[in-house]
Amino acid sequence: MENKTEIAFFDLETTFPTPPGQGRAILEFGAILVCPQKLEELRSYSTLVRPSNPKLISSLSARCNGITPEAVVLAPSFADIADTVYDILHGRIWAGHNIDRFDCVLIREAFAEIGRTAPEPQGTIDTLALLTQRFGSRAGDMKMASLATYFRLGNQTHRSLDDVRMNIEVLKHCATVLFLESSLPDTFPENHWVHPDEVSLPSIRALHDPFFRGSLKLFYEGAILQLCCPRLRIRFE
C-alpha cells in the first residue's frame, strides 16, 4: 500500500433507513486532506451522490440541511465518483466522528455494490471514541453538535464538508484544552461537578435539537448541563 502522509477527514450524509433496519444510501461525500503536523487544510472535495435506487430519491423528504430530491437526482452516482473517492482515501489515515461504526462501513458497502475494491486506510482516527476517552463526557453525549455547542463553534449544518471542518476545529479545541490541563494542572483543573446549590436557574436554558430524536438539551452558562442524581425527575412548565 502506498504510504500517504496526509490525514483524510471525511463525512457522509445518507438517507434515513425507512423502514427501520433497511440500509442507508449515500447522499453526499465530503473530505479534507489535512497535514498531520499542523492540522491545516491541504485539499478538499465534496459532491452530492445520486442513489442507485430511484425510490430513495422520490421518498427523500426536504431536510434542514438543504439536500433536496431535485439536487440529488442531478448528482453523479457513486460509480461516477468512485475513482476520486478511492484516490482520496486509499493508503491514508482516515479520520472522522463515529467513522468506525458508520462512515467506514458505508464506504466499503458502496464500493462492494458497484463491484469495486474498496480503499484501505493506514489506520483510523474515530474522534468520537478518542474524545470520549480523553475528553470525558463534559460535552454531554459527545456528538458533533454537542461538541460544537460546548466550544461555541456554531450549529452543525449536517453537510459533509461543513461537518468535516467542524470536526477538525473541535479536535483542535479539545487538544488545546487537554494540553493546558496536563501542562498547568493548578491553573486549568480538569472537568469537575458543580454542586446543585451553585447552579443559577436563570443561567439554564433548553434547546430543541431537531437532529437528535426531537429531544431537548439543557445548557448551563453555554455548556451542556449534565445531571447526575438518582431518581431525578424534571418537569417543564
At residue 206, the pLDDT reads 72
Least confident of 16-20, 75-79, 122-126: 16-20
At residue 192, the pLDDT reads 53
The one-letter amino acid at 127:
T
Q: What is the 3-state secondary structure (H, E, C) of 31-53?
A: EEEECCCCCCEEEEEEEECECCC
- Selection from 65-69, 87-91, 216-220 with the highest mean pLDDT: 87-91
More confident residue, 17 or 170: 170
Contact of 28 with 46, CB cutoff 8 Å? yes
pLDDT digit string (tens) for 156-182? 999 999 999 999 999 999 999 999 988
At residue 213, the pLDDT reads 45
Residue in the structure block whose three cell numbers are 431525578? 232
Is residue 44 scored above 90 in pLDDT? yes
Angle between helices 127-135 and 160-183 (to 10 degrees): 20
At residue 124, what are phi and psi to the nearest 5 degrees?
Answer: -130, 150
- The secondary structure of residue 148, as a DSSP letter, is H
Does residue 158 carry a catalytic annotation? Answer: yes
Average confidence (pLDDT) over 100-113? 97
Residue 43: count of CB within 10 angstroms of its CB: 11
The strand ranges marked E within the chain are 7-14, 26-34, 41-48, 93-96, 123-126, 204-209, 215-220, 223-224
Q: What is the C-alpha R_g of the chain?
A: 20
The one-letter amino acid at 13:
E
The alpha carbon of residue 149 and the mean position of all alpha carbons in its chain are separated, in whole angstroms, by 13
Average confidence (pLDDT) over 57-68? 71
How many helices and strands, by DSSP H and E, does the chain display?
Answer: 7, 8
Report the predicted TM-score, pTM, of the whole model to 2 decimal places.
0.77
CA gap 22, 20 in Å, rounded? 6
Is residue 230 scored above 50 in pLDDT? no
Per annotation, catalytic residue among 90, 97, 158, 192:
158
At residue 184, the pLDDT reads 86
Alpha helices in 122-225 (DSSP H): 127-135, 144-150, 160-183
CA gap 151, 162 in Å, rounded? 16
- Show the domains of the chain with their CATH numbers: 7-182 (3.30.420.10), 193-237 (no CATH)
Local confidence band at 204 (pLDDT 50, 70, 90 cut-offs):
confident
Contact of 148 with 164, CB cutoff 8 Å? no
Mean pLDDT over each residue of the chain, to the nearest integer: 84
